[in-house]
Amino acid sequence: MFKILRQYHKIFPRKFGSYWKKIEDYSKIDNDLVKITNSFINSESYNFVSRYWHILNIRAYEHLINKGYKDYGSTIAQNYFTMTDLYDPWIDKAMDSALDTVDIRLNGDIFKKQNYFTYRQSIFYNYLCILLYSNLKKTKYFDQLYKLQDKTYTGFDDPFIKIDNHKITTDKVVSLLDCEKINKAFNLNDISKILEIGAGSGRLADAILSLEANKKYVICDIPPAIFISYKRLQVAFPEKKISLLFDVTNKDELEKKINESDISFIFPHQLDLFSKNFIDLVLAVDCLHEMDQKTIQNYFEKINKLTNKFYFSVWDETLLPYSKKIFSKNTRLNYLKGDYNVPKNWDNIFKENPVFPSNYWCLGFDIKK
């Protein structure tokens, strides 16, 4: 019976909306989280999320409701990009690159036990920090490491180790490596307005705005990630004007408020409101492979209108969890086999594998109108 129920829930997973409505007392939940969640459930965007999102969301909310977001970096983040295991295809390029790197003195931090991690997970994570740091030292972005603030990269109980008097987290190093790739595809000096889809914890926005302070930044995401990135960027940039624009339904009003703000937050359905080429550069880092093909195509249609520069990164191949239907298998997404159905008017001007994960594709497109 248990096996039958488990298979049933894989095909018909629990819906987040039902879970949220059954909560009897919202008074102990962060007020911003309640407002953002209610706005999202009642928006058009709620209808476009994947089954996988419903499953992850319920897990994340149970933690947020019971313990809050202050320890996000070592708990909920493990559902996203905080890796606690290593596989050869993920690290082979980073390993090859690190072979000729100058020796790094470890002073025992590789054995540091991270909060909420097992010893095994801690050692894997600590080793990955060392490996990524070794690779970062080979880039010009290593000199920018000091600009990333510990109050946000380690301030949410994020796991870290110390190397050369730096507090090193995988998020901190990977964000700088992401900046390197993005700048290689599109010179960030020429960009004034960025929109990021699926920003997660806000780690990349934090990095870009720490290096490029005068840029306008729009985050298009769904809860709970959009709540966490909002809280994080409030801490990172208390001097900036940060706006939640979820209830704006008019094009002129939305664009006016974005232009008046430094950082803005919107839901996916609001992308339809923008004028042609309102955004200089759209980013989608480590998120499209978590969506079904219908949702990806929906985003691509919107991106086709709102910008002429698009950068995204995805695993070379994934099977989308919980996408299985009664008579079909889980959805496969393989970029090289055409599963993303990139529009024909998009010119692929940049294509590289990063050092980590080595089986990723980093892709830049000029969009021809």
Check pLDDT > 60 for residue 330. no
**Which residue in 261, 362, 266, 367 sits closest to 310, CA to CA?**
367
- Of the candidate ranges 77-81, 115-119, 123-127, 322-326, the one whose mean pLDDT is the lowest: 322-326
Q: Which residues contact 136 (CB under 8 A, 6 or more apart)?
A: 142, 145, 173, 176, 177
Q: Are strands 332-334 and 317-319 parallel, antiparallel or unpaired?
A: antiparallel
Please tell me whether residues 202 and 309 are part of one structural domain: yes
pLDDT number for residue 322: 61
Of 175, 193, 210, which residue is a domain's last? 175
Please tell me whether residues 68 and 96 are part of one structural domain: no
Of 112, 140, 175, which residue is a domain's last? 175
Residue 37 pLDDT grade (very low, low, confident, very high; cuts 50, 70, 90): very high
What value does the mean pLDDT take over residues 173-197? 97
More confident residue, 41 or 106: 41
CATH number for the domain that contains residue 307: 3.40.50.150
Q: Read off the DSSP letter of residue 328.
A: B
**Count of domains in the chain?**
3
Please tell me whether residues 112 and 143 are part of one structural domain: yes
pLDDT number for residue 269: 96
More confident residue, 110 or 324: 110
Contact 210, 148 (CB under 8 A): yes
| Tens-digit pLDDT profile for residues 5-17 | 344 445 445 788 8
| Tens-digit pLDDT profile for residues 255-289 | 999 999 999 999 999 999 999 999 999 999 999 99
Please tell me whether residues 168 and 231 are part of one structural domain: no
Contact 69, 60 (CB under 8 A): no
Please tell me whether residues 316 and 253 are part of one structural domain: yes
Of 175, 194, 229, which residue is a domain's last? 175
Please tell me whether residues 314 and 222 are part of one structural domain: yes
Q: How far is CA 241 from CA 221, 230, 265, 286, 322, in A?
A: 19, 12, 11, 27, 39
Please tell me whether residues 185 and 322 are part of one structural domain: yes
Contact 20, 49 (CB under 8 A): no
3-state class of 90 per DSSP? helix
- Confidence (pTM): 0.91
Domain assignment of residue 164, given as a range: 88-175
Identify how many contiguous H helices and E strands the chain contains and give both numbers: 12, 12
**Which residue in 300, 316, 299, 305 sits closest to 362, CA to CA?**
316
- Of the candidate ranges 80-84, 182-186, 240-244, 294-298, the one whose mean pLDDT is the lowest: 80-84
